[in-house]
């Protein structure tokens, strides 16, 4: 073979290799596109999130036990933290596709754009709030409990009637206040927040406070009222509207998140999570007669 012919042969081989590489790259690209398309078809909700492919969930700062343990929602420990991951899974998101952020309670229920897909921090479902945000069905209906000092004459109370002569306080505008007024007595003293009402009991200014049972246990555990106890739950005091996961108004995820809560209730997961994380704060507390 002459030198010229040899050069022509080399050029031909290089051309063939280039064409082969081009087809191989195109085939690989088609496979990747098909894979991406398959993932999108598997979970179309992944394209509706704030960050495509990631479900961003907000909670409070700080987030408290028993809803979030050690203020670390990413661990999945605590009732709301574990529930959030269960809801995310029902919606087609793996644990590593869930990201947490923090918000205040007030900013979450205010109208306007949000920088998260869902928010979970014991939001009571109300018609007023529904005007600004979306809610899932209730995942928890809090009952109301009474906190008293252990040296109080009401520390051994076993019935609602035992509190007939007591001075009772509750946070204004809450289910706790409504239930205390309807179930205990008409003249309930009001306070701007639960810190203030706890201080009033601690200072012996009132005899007892009424608050959600989970908050009541935390008040005692953290000694917001010294030498205190949760004397019991008020009978039939569950919040009729309950607590829901909050989403931005008109979110394309609301339907799927709502269905997830419904499914978790039907398959027993919701009860299992409540029994795991809330027992000490709910069913372990006696109900007053």
Contact in structure between 109 and 173 (CB atoms under 8 Å)? no
* pLDDT for residue 17 is more than 80: no
Domains of the chain: total: 2
CATH code of the domain containing 164: 3.40.190.10
What is the C-alpha to C-alpha distance for residues 175 and 10, in angstroms, rounded to an integer?
Answer: 85
Give residue 133's domain range: 47-140+240-281
* pLDDT for residue 133 is more than 50: yes
185 shares a domain with 61 = no
206 shares a domain with 182 = yes
* pLDDT for residue 28 is more than 90: no
Q: What does the pLDDT average to over 190-219? A: 95
* pLDDT for residue 2 is more than 70: no
Q: Does residue 79 lie within any of the structural domains?
A: yes
Distances (CA, A) of 14 to 8, 18, 42, 153: 10, 6, 42, 97
* Domain closes at, from 233, 252, 268: 233
Beta partners for residue 123, in sequence order:
244
* pLDDT for residue 40 is more than 50: no
CA triple 177-139-182, angle to 5 deg: 20
DSSP 47: G
153 shares a domain with 136 = no
**Residue 26 pLDDT:** 39
pLDDT tens for residues 54-90?
Answer: 999 999 998 989 999 999 999 999 999 999 999 999 9
Reported pTM: 0.75
263 shares a domain with 125 = yes
276 shares a domain with 148 = no
Q: Does residue 263 lie within any of the structural domains?
A: yes
Q: Does residue 109 lie within any of the structural domains?
A: yes
Q: What does the pLDDT average to over 27-47? A: 54
What is the C-alpha to C-alpha distance for residues 145 and 214, in angstroms, rounded to an integer?
Answer: 9
Contact in structure between 124 and 243 (CB atoms under 8 Å)? yes
274 shares a domain with 135 = yes
Q: Does residue 289 lie within any of the structural domains?
A: no
């Amino acid at each position: 073979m002459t030198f010229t012919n040899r050069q022509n042969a080399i050029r031909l081989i290089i051309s063939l290799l280039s064409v082969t590489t081009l087809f191989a790259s195109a085939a690989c690209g088609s496979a990747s596109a098909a894979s991406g398309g398959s993932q999108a078809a598997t979970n179309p909700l992944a394209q509706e999130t704030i960050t495509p492919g990631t479900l961003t969930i907000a909670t409070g700062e700080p987030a408290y036990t028993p809803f979030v343990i050690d203020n670390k929602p990413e661990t999945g420990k605590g009732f709301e933290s574990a529930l959030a991951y269960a809801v995310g899974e029902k919606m087609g998101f793996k644990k590593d596709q869930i990201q947490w952020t923090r918000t205040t309670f007030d900013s979450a229920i205010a109208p306007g754009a949000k920088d998260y897909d869902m928010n979970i921090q014991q939001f009571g479902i109300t018609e007023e709030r529904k005007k600004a945000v979306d809610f899932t069905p209730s995942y928890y209906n809090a009952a109301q409990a009474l906190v008293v000092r252990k040296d109080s004459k009401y520390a051994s109370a076993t019935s609602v009637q035992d509190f007939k002569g007591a001075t009772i306080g509750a946070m204004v505008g809450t289910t706790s206040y409504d239930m205390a007024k309807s179930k205990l007595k008409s003249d309930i003293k009001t306070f701007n927040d639960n810190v203030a009402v706890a201080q009033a009991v601690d200072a012996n200014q009132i005899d007892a406070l009424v608050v959600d049972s989970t908050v009541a246990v935390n008040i005692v555990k953290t000694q917001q009222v010294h030498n205190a106890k949760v004397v019991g739950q008020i009978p039939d005091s569950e919040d009729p509207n309950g607590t829901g996961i909050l989403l931005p108004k008109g979110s394309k995820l609301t339907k799927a998140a709502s269905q997830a809560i419904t499914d978790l209730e039907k398959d027993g997961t919701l009860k299992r999570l409540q029994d795991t994380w809330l027992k000490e704060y709910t069913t372990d507390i006696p109900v007053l007669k």
